[in-house]
Amino acid sequence: MAGNSFGQLFRVTTFGESHGLALGAVVDGCPPGLEISEADLQGDLDRRKPGTSRYTTPRREPDEVKILSGVFEGKTTGTSIGLLIENTDQRSKDYSDIKDVFRPGHADYTYHQKYGQRDYRGGGRSSARETAMRVAAGAIAKKYLKQMHGIELTGFLSQLGPIKAEAFDAAQIEQNPFFFPDAGKLEALDQYMRDLKKEGNSIGAKVQVIARNVPVGLGEPVFDRLDADIAHAMMGINAVKGVEIGDGFAVVEQKGSEHRDEMTPAGFASNHAGGILGGISSGQDIVVSLGLKPTSSITVPGKSINTEGEAIEMITKGRHDPCVGIRAVPIAEAMLALVLMDHLLRHRAQNQGVLTQTPQLR
Amino acid sequence: MAGNSFGQLFRVTTFGESHGLALGAVVDGCPPGLEISEADLQGDLDRRKPGTSRYTTPRREPDEVKILSGVFEGKTTGTSIGLLIENTDQRSKDYSDIKDVFRPGHADYTYHQKYGQRDYRGGGRSSARETAMRVAAGAIAKKYLKQMHGIELTGFLSQLGPIKAEAFDAAQIEQNPFFFPDAGKLEALDQYMRDLKKEGNSIGAKVQVIARNVPVGLGEPVFDRLDADIAHAMMGINAVKGVEIGDGFAVVEQKGSEHRDEMTPAGFASNHAGGILGGISSGQDIVVSLGLKPTSSITVPGKSINTEGEAIEMITKGRHDPCVGIRAVPIAEAMLALVLMDHLLRHRAQNQGVLTQTPQLR
Amino acid sequence: MAGNSFGQLFRVTTFGESHGLALGAVVDGCPPGLEISEADLQGDLDRRKPGTSRYTTPRREPDEVKILSGVFEGKTTGTSIGLLIENTDQRSKDYSDIKDVFRPGHADYTYHQKYGQRDYRGGGRSSARETAMRVAAGAIAKKYLKQMHGIELTGFLSQLGPIKAEAFDAAQIEQNPFFFPDAGKLEALDQYMRDLKKEGNSIGAKVQVIARNVPVGLGEPVFDRLDADIAHAMMGINAVKGVEIGDGFAVVEQKGSEHRDEMTPAGFASNHAGGILGGISSGQDIVVSLGLKPTSSITVPGKSINTEGEAIEMITKGRHDPCVGIRAVPIAEAMLALVLMDHLLRHRAQNQGVLTQTPQLR
Amino acid sequence: MAGNSFGQLFRVTTFGESHGLALGAVVDGCPPGLEISEADLQGDLDRRKPGTSRYTTPRREPDEVKILSGVFEGKTTGTSIGLLIENTDQRSKDYSDIKDVFRPGHADYTYHQKYGQRDYRGGGRSSARETAMRVAAGAIAKKYLKQMHGIELTGFLSQLGPIKAEAFDAAQIEQNPFFFPDAGKLEALDQYMRDLKKEGNSIGAKVQVIARNVPVGLGEPVFDRLDADIAHAMMGINAVKGVEIGDGFAVVEQKGSEHRDEMTPAGFASNHAGGILGGISSGQDIVVSLGLKPTSSITVPGKSINTEGEAIEMITKGRHDPCVGIRAVPIAEAMLALVLMDHLLRHRAQNQGVLTQTPQLR
């Protein structure tokens, strides 16, 4: 069933495969009057695009996005916005040898079983290449959130395999190819990645995204809570196996007296909750963490089966990221932006005026 | 905006507050011909209901559910099913003293800011009492999944504060009031809860749910992936701050050669993925973990503010669970059942026949 | 698939059969702060309820609605509103003789074929009794529209069989049991209905609803246009076979110079469009017409088949309306109110502020 | 709010303006395995495209559609299908003179008021040019319906202004530029259109669509009835002001004994209902009629206002259809195909197997 749309009021619908002609998206429900151009989208696309460092896939795609509709004289008109990125570096022949096999740890098997067939070229629709359109659409949301509400999103890599960020320097994040906030660990990261490459292996990672200046009141209980929708957005990113809000799984060992964030006339005294209470934003920073698995596209040989059910052994050739967590940073930001944008509109619909009329205690 | 519906094809819509007249739900989209009666729902409601052990809130509610429509001569008719549970033990007066204050760690503040007002009695709509209807609706899904596909769901408490289950004995789970699979730890749990009660404090917990016999093919990429929808369902349960599929956050430190589940003609050789690849069920057990925060309703005094923004200090009286994780076990099962049920129908809609026509390699 | 919800942001979900225990609804997405009580809903329920005149079914139902949630201290809280009407005058035995036959012109056959079974008591879910919940939910929308925007809805019967209203006296509508605006035709209507009753037959009707003071800008092209959603709402009322906006089918013979509504600085010079241009409200009166078929529940014998496919001849006993168009008047008003309410919230979501900032030329 | 999607399970999302770079659509939820190519879509696009006869707009657009994704090796894969048509004959300068005025009878005024601005070039998003993507998407649905269920759709013009079809010869419909089933009236139509052109005026029309071989059981009461969703689809076509199912408004003067379709072991004895009973398809032909207004783009001068609210008099230059009803024929077919496709999938989701297990009495 139709599962390629995200959001209800600010709704993004995407199409496109890894090795098809193009990727595209329709962004529906954008408020009119927002100044937007391709340049606003290209920045984040460039942060996500492959081939920018030796730590990511060598596939080279310019990922140049075109705005085909919904923008007139430099501003959104309120009608649906069509976006398109043409695929240029497809090299389909790389993939012909995996036509009849299921790569272990990949979606080959499940797509084949679900649909009775699959586009095997580079993973087809299951490829993370699809996320380029999420980033493009997210950039529109980001601009609106920033301009209208001063909301700012910061994503970074907090851990790569065994290497954790111990310092947090926001200024560092965009200065290195890892989106890593701890400059002291960059050399270790570089060495780790070199060793990994030699080994033909891949590694997991942890990504964090923080949203600042989110107004109080976003989230629609009891099912469409803000945290529930964030979890949906994040777990829907390729390779993500875990999502946390605020203290996340650390709460398991916390006591109530320790976890609850006390309030004072000056605001909250702590932020264990990660900015969400009862499924509704509290006005504090929203803090989200993701755990991303290591890609299964490695050159270490692995056991699998072919479409006849026979045993095979295979290595995954082609061009792949040894740590998909790195490029997931702009994707996670984009998805959080889409959730916040959708919930901002949802809140407005029901509570016009409430957002500003009530005292902002923070 | 309307956020009280869950699911698209098997859609549950709920209403009701902690201290209102009744809780209710509409279950829409249930296939016709399913034998169902109140008794089928009451079992799980009794597992969730308060007042069953000294480890949960002493509030006593029979939680007797009535089926008001959609079932005729013992079978579902395909039309919408109305469910109702009347509240009987409301004691609203317990709560009049919190009318003008925001309990720390609760949704009082965010509901007040979002809607400009709130039903302060026992948390109103933000109370976990609302989840009774999720359990009732989930029981319908559970019966269908079991009867038509042999799908079975098992939830349990895997950790309570510092105490982790080290053994797993499925038969134990329903034999103790903790839903704990490790009989050797029951005494420690009892002692921990007694100490906690003396202290007037609460504790976090970890809950796990496993689904067996799920067919290959459920999940609708790229946004409505099965794991994404499970994350949405689970993070939408009160007090949940983290969700994991399969190995969850452990993947951060795993290498690709270690994480990827190899396949053999006899099936998968491991299940790090937790039964989902590329957002689609693989036919393996689906494994989900949740981290639940300690309830903020404790008698340890805490700092907060009142609706005038003035500093106060308060303790939360009333009747509360010292570990909300315990009663979350049947809720988590219910939510997973609702997701699987919805996705089963979604898969059928697009792929009629594919489910059975393709070879089941597992 | 789940089809018992109406609206996206102001969403009504209903349940209940003609001869079940109760009818119910969940109204989700209502803005907080609206003063509402059962009395506000009862007025329209009484206008719709059976047994009020000799021209409608003699079934007697008090149709007393209870608000079970979502309203606190007399005001909506923004959470979901539960509504319930218990069935009291069910007389199920009346219907046992139709258990194995398909009444001609009824939904017996299609329900049976669709779901493989059916609740045959009084038509089950296909009975117009279900519309009581639409009227109850619509009354909440009506109150909000009136109070916040001064929007007023007026429904009336413009034609019953061959008898057309030629005069329009708004004050007359609620003064007679036909909701007929032309007092000069009341005697003819009475005589017509008496003759019809003797004959054991039924008759079609035309109903019109007008909405005044609707702001410019409601409607979400290109698919969720205001007129499209009105058509959906109206064609979804039992027995409706045609829907018109403004001049409706008369446009087929109109020329462009005749149809287009010219504008002047004082406003529109005519209203052929019925208040909607390009799928968006123009600020003029919204004018909607419905054609309702004669009920098929008549005592004139008719040919049909039974569930074995054998020929039978039958008359439809039980208690029925000879002209279902009469009681459709409050239903049509309710549905228009639901559409306008939903679109008001939808417009707000995307265009906060635009509604009031732009010049209102009308 | 997002209003550019149609359908729930077979969901079409469109973008594009009359004079933008391109029109596009995403078709989501198409079953896998359907053989489809651009050629399958081009046929209906050619039937709709402008410039094919002297009775339609002289704008010349090849309307060549490209399939960008979702089809692999000639078959649908079950993933989202991206469609694109580039605009080639835009001539934006034609429209610069209407930048600051509201053409009477057009959506200029309502778009401007709704969004606070508008793309004035050729009506922007409100132009019927947008419907090309509906036709392209509808062609996919048509092919599936035909191939899997033998469902066939036939649209035609049944009336143009005062000229009604009195004979019905299906073979004629595609033989003349009017889609008119009565060859005896073609000369009259030609003369009427010539006179109209001289006059610089336009005329209304009536279009009918018939669907054959629709299985019993499509439609999801109580709100998403098949007739309700058809009405939504049809009233959402530009210029439509009225929709009828079966006998439509003629039912107003019918008696129950006359209207109800009696059943015999051989099937229904008549089809006043137009193939839908209780909102569910009965297996008979589905019969839908639309009334389309005359376009307001005429060269007869008309009164209006500019964006400053000042009185003006204007004629609408540019290239327009004197009778938009003609080209609406393939659009109406496409919309009916989309509704049937969506409901086929919706029915399957809930009632897998029921469709074929129950006796087909027809």
pLDDT at D122: 86
Mean pLDDT, rounded, for A257-280: 97
pLDDT at B64: 95
Q: Which of A26, A96, A120, A125 to mutate to test the interface with D (most CBs of D within 10 A)?
A: A26
Q: Is C359 domain-assigned? A: no
> Using the beta-carbon criterion (under 8 Å), do A13 and D28 form an inter-chain contact?
yes
Rg of chain A taking only CA atoms, in angstroms = 21
The mean predicted confidence, pLDDT, of chain A is 92
For residue A132, the chain D residues in CB contact (below 8 A) are: none
| Total of domains in chain A | 1
CA nearest to A336, candidates A257, A229, A222, A241: A229
Residue A276 contacts residue A245 (beta carbons within 8 Å): yes
Q: Cβ of C13 under 8 Å from any chain B Cβ?
A: yes
Residues of chain B with pLDDT under 50: 355-362
For residue C11, the chain A residues in CB contact (below 8 A) are: none
Q: Is B311 domain-assigned? A: yes
Is the pLDDT reported for residue A361 higher than 90? no
**Distance between CA atoms of D231 and D217, rounded to whole angstroms?**
18
HEC per residue, A254-279: CEHHHHCCCEECCEECCCCCCCEECC
> Using the beta-carbon criterion (under 8 Å), do B244 and A242 form an inter-chain contact?
yes
B230-to-C228, D206, D349 alpha-carbon distances in Å: 34, 49, 20
Burial class (CB in 10 A: 0-12, 13-18, 19+), D234: buried
**Distance between CA atoms of D92 and D95, rounded to whole angstroms?**
6
pLDDT band per the 50, 70, 90 thresholds, residue A351: confident
* Distance from the C307 Cα atom to the nearest Cα atom in chain B, whole angstroms: 17
Angle at B17 between CA B12 and CA B23, to 5 degrees: 50
Mean pLDDT, rounded, for D226-247: 98
pLDDT band per the 50, 70, 90 thresholds, residue D133: very high
> Using the beta-carbon criterion (under 8 Å), do B346 and D349 form an inter-chain contact?
yes
> Using the beta-carbon criterion (under 8 Å), do B29 and C1 form an inter-chain contact?
yes
Mean pLDDT, rounded, for D247-265: 97
Which CB contacts under 8 angstroms, 24+ apart, belong to A50-55? A50/A319, A50/A321, A50/A327, A52/A177, A53/A177, A54/A193, A55/A177, A55/A178, A55/A193, A55/A321, A55/A322, A55/A323, A55/A326
For C64, the domain range is 5-354
Q: Is A310 domain-assigned? A: yes
Residues of chain C with pLDDT under 70: 90-94, 318-319, 353-362
ipTM over 0.90: yes
pLDDT at B44: 94
Spatial CB neighbours of D215, under 8 Å, sequence gap ≥ 6: D149, D281, D283, D344, D355, D360
pLDDT at D93: 63
Q: Cβ of C14 under 8 Å from any chain D Cβ?
A: yes
Mean pLDDT, rounded, for D101-114: 93
For residue D81, the chain A residues in CB contact (below 8 A) are: 15
pLDDT at A56: 80
Percent of chain D with pLDDT over 70: 95
Question: Which chains does D contact via 3+ CB–CB distances below 8 A?
Answer: A, B, C
> Using the beta-carbon criterion (under 8 Å), do A221 and B281 form an inter-chain contact?
no
Q: Is D255 domain-assigned? A: yes
For residue A298, the chain B residues in CB contact (below 8 A) are: 256-257, 260
Is the pLDDT reported for residue D362 higher than 50? no
pLDDT at B357: 38
C319 is in an annotated binding site: yes
Spatial CB neighbours of C93, under 8 Å, sequence gap ≥ 6: none
pLDDT at D318: 67
Mean pLDDT, rounded, for A304-315: 92
Q: Is D199 domain-assigned? A: yes
Mean pLDDT, rounded, for A215-242: 98
pTM: 0.97
> Using the beta-carbon criterion (under 8 Å), do B10 and C2 form an inter-chain contact?
yes
**Locate tokens 């079409």: which residue?**
D12
CATH code for the domain of C299: 3.60.150.10
Burial class (CB in 10 A: 0-12, 13-18, 19+), B73: exposed
Pick from B15, B20, B68: CB nearest C20: B68
Spatial CB neighbours of A92, under 8 Å, sequence gap ≥ 6: A19, A121, A122
pLDDT at B359: 36
B296 is in an annotated binding site: yes
D186 phi and psi angles, rounded to 5 deg: -65, -40
For residue C2, the chain A residues in CB contact (below 8 A) are: none
> Using the beta-carbon criterion (under 8 Å), do A79 and D345 form an inter-chain contact?
no
Residue A157 contacts residue A164 (beta carbons within 8 Å): no
Residue B102 contacts residue A274 (beta carbons within 8 Å): no
For residue C32, the chain A residues in CB contact (below 8 A) are: 350-351, 354
Is the pLDDT reported for residue A293 higher than 50? yes
For residue C345, the chain A residues in CB contact (below 8 A) are: 349-350
Q: Is B206 domain-assigned? A: yes
Q: Cβ of A122 under 8 Å from any chain D Cβ?
A: no
* Distance from the A210 Cα atom to the nearest Cα atom in chain B, whole angstroms: 15
Q: What is the pLDDT of residues D32-59, one digit of tens each?
A: 999 999 999 999 999 998 777 888 877 7
> Using the beta-carbon criterion (under 8 Å), do A242 and B249 form an inter-chain contact?
yes
HEC per residue, chain B: CCCCEECCCCEEEEECCCCCCEEEEEEECCCCCCECCHHHHHHHHHHHCCCCCCCCCCCCCCCCEEECCCEECCEECCCCEEEEEECCCCCHHHHHHHCCECCCCCCHHHHHHHHCCCCCHHHHHHCHHHHHHHHHHHHHHHHHHHHHHCCEEEEEEEEECCEECCCCCHHHHHHCCCCCCCHHHHHHHHHHHHHHHHHCCCECEEEEEEEECCCCCCCECCCECHHHHHHHHHHCCCCEEEEEECCHHHHHHCEHHHHCCCEECCEECCCCCCCEECCEECCCCEEEEEEECCCCCCCCCEEEEECCCCEEEECCCCCCCCCHHHHHHHHHHHHHHHHHHHHHHHHHHHHCCHHHHCCCCC
Terminal Cα-to-Cα distance of chain B (whole angstroms): 43
* Distance from the B10 Cα atom to the nearest Cα atom in chain C, whole angstroms: 6
A vs C, Cβ pairs < 8 A, gives: 45
A294 is in an annotated binding site: yes
**Locate tokens 């009753």: which residue?**
C197
Q: Cβ of D351 under 8 Å from any chain B Cβ?
A: yes
Q: What is the pLDDT of residues D164-191, one digit of tens each?
A: 999 999 999 999 999 999 999 999 999 9
Q: Cβ of A11 under 8 Å from any chain B Cβ?
A: no
Q: What is the pLDDT of residues C65-105, one digit of tens each?
A: 999 999 999 999 999 999 999 998 766 566 777 889 999 99
Pick from B345, B350, B354: CB nearest D350: B345
Q: Is B362 domain-assigned? A: no
Q: Is D136 domain-assigned? A: yes
Residues of chain B numbered 232-271 and touching chain C (CB < 8 Å): none
pLDDT band per the 50, 70, 90 thresholds, residue D357: very low
| Beta bridge partners of residue C231, listed in sequence order | none
Q: Cβ of C19 under 8 Å from any chain B Cβ?
A: no
Q: Report which secondary-structure segment, H or E, holds D101.
A: strand D101-102
A121 is in an annotated binding site: no
